[in-house]
């Protein structure tokens, strides 16, 4: 598995090196945390042999959107793009489904009984992402849509502490494949349950960049992201969670320069 990905990274690195022979400006790449922690290392691997200097920034979507509007970063991978700045272009990158996540202990204790997400929400409280994050807002809208009426007890900015409580059977979460892969040291202690499909049940990723700039970089980020999803992350998560839908993690098919 690692061999083909390494070769693809070397191929992209060569293209970046060729493209960098002209104006040698550093590129400032901003990514939401789950993307930076999962696909980000492969991007850095691909770019490390380029003569161009790379600065990788991570953070929440609202912060990154503000940074690219102010010109503090050059290219952003984010999950929400309310573009009001006509100087910016966006490209669809990938999407992923929201999944109910529970502890394996809960699942095994329910053997012989139903283990649908509806029973999960009856047994345990929902452990949330904070509402100041885009994913927290999206999960809250989805939970209301699914009539999950759970008191607000625990809220986290980051996936790692959130899944630590889930793995300890202190509640359940609504999260995504990338977030699960980001905190993959918990995967042996977790199960996932599909949620009903719908417009609220997925989160979309986009690449933002200034018009007329960094097209080669944007194309390479999109290509490498697809290869990491198809060659590494989806196969690994499927081995842990055979019940995860095949469409839970997908590259976008309508990418355009």
Alpha helices in 99-214 (DSSP H): 104-109, 117-123, 134-145, 159-167, 177-182
Any domain includes 215: yes
pLDDT digits (tens, 9 = 90+) for 138-182: 999 999 999 998 888 889 989 999 999 999 999 999 999 999 999
pLDDT band at 113 (very low <50, low <70, confident <90, very high): low
**Cβ distance 53 to 78 under 8 Å?**
no
**Cβ distance 163 to 146 under 8 Å?**
no
- State the pLDDT at residue 168: 96
pLDDT digits (tens, 9 = 90+) for 29-51: 889 889 999 988 887 787 776 66
Q: Is the pLDDT of residue 19 over 80?
A: no
Whether residue 150 is found in the same domain as residue 189 = yes
Any domain includes 227: yes
Whether residue 152 is found in the same domain as residue 34 = no
Three-state DSSP class for residue 248 = helix
pLDDT band at 63 (very low <50, low <70, confident <90, very high): confident
- State the pLDDT at residue 5: 56
- State the pLDDT at residue 51: 61
Count CB atoms within 10 A of the CB of residue 253. 7
Whether residue 87 is found in the same domain as residue 209 = yes
Whether residue 91 is found in the same domain as residue 106 = no
Q: Is the pLDDT of residue 18 over 50?
A: no
Question: How far does Cα 38 stand from its chain's mean position?
Answer: 8
For range 203-222, the mean pLDDT: 88
Mean pLDDT of the chain: 84
Whether residue 114 is found in the same domain as residue 185 = yes
Whether residue 22 is found in the same domain as residue 70 = yes
Distance CA 67, CA 8 (A): 30
Of 157, 185, 200, the position where a domain reaches its end is 200
Any domain includes 257: no
Q: Tell me how many domains the chain contains.
A: 2
Whether residue 193 is found in the same domain as residue 109 = yes
Whether residue 117 is found in the same domain as residue 191 = yes
Whether residue 90 is found in the same domain as residue 210 = yes
Whether residue 176 is found in the same domain as residue 222 = no
Residue environment code for 20-54, b if the CB has 16+ CB neighbours within 10 A, otherwise e: beeeeeebbbbbbbbbbbbbbebbebbbeebebeb
Distance CA 65, CA 209 (A): 10
Question: Nearest-CA neighbor of 61 among 130, 2, 149?
Answer: 130
Distance CA 196, CA 117 (A): 9
pLDDT band at 21 (very low <50, low <70, confident <90, very high): very low
Could you tell me the pTM of the whole model? Answer: 0.83
Of 179, 200, 221, the position where a domain reaches its end is 200
Question: Nearest-CA neighbor of 6 among 101, 14, 200, 218?
Answer: 14
Of 200, 216, 239, the position where a domain reaches its end is 200
- State the pLDDT at residue 25: 67
Distance CA 208, CA 200 (A): 22
Query: Facing residues of 29 across strands?
Result: 56, 75
Any domain includes 256: no
Whether residue 20 is found in the same domain as residue 73 = yes
For range 61-78, the mean pLDDT: 86
pLDDT digits (tens, 9 = 90+) for 91-108: 999 999 999 999 999 988
Any domain includes 79: yes
Domain that holds residue 72: 2-95+203-251
Q: What are phi and psi of 41, to 5 degrees?
A: -60, -35
Look up the CATH number of the domain holding residue 87: 3.40.190.10
Whether residue 39 is found in the same domain as residue 55 = yes
């Amino acid at each position: 598995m690692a061999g083909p990905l390494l070769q693809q990274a070397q191929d992209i690195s060569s293209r970046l090196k060729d493209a960098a022979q002209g104006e040698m400006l550093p590129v400032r790449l901003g990514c939401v945390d789950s993307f930076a922690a999962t696909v980000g290392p492969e991007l850095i691997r691909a770019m490390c042999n380029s003569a161009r200097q790379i600065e990788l920034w991570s953070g929440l979507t609202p912060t990154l959107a503000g940074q690219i509007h102010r010109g503090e970063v050059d290219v952003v991978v984010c999950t929400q793009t309310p573009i009001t700045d006509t100087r910016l272009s966006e490209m669809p990158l990938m999407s992923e489904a929201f999944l109910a996540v529970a502890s394996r202990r809960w699942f095994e204790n329910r053997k012989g009984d139903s283990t649908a997400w509806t029973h999960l929400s009856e047994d345990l409280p929902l452990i949330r992402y904070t509402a100041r994050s885009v994913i927290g807002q999206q999960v809250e809208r989805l939970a209301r849509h699914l009539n999950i009426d759970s008191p607000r007890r625990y809220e986290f900015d980051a996936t790692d502490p959130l899944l630590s409580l889930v793995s300890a059977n202190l509640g359940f979460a609504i999260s995504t494949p990338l977030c699960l892969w980001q905190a993959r040291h918990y995967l042996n202690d977790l199960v996932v349950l599909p949620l009903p499909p719908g417009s609220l049940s997925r989160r979309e990723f986009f690449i933002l960049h200034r018009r007329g700039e960094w097209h080669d970089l944007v194309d390479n980020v999109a290509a490498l992201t697809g290869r990491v999803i198809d060659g590494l992350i989806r196969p690994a998560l499927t081995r842990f969670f055979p019940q995860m839908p095949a469409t839970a993690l997908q590259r976008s098919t309508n990418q355009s320069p």
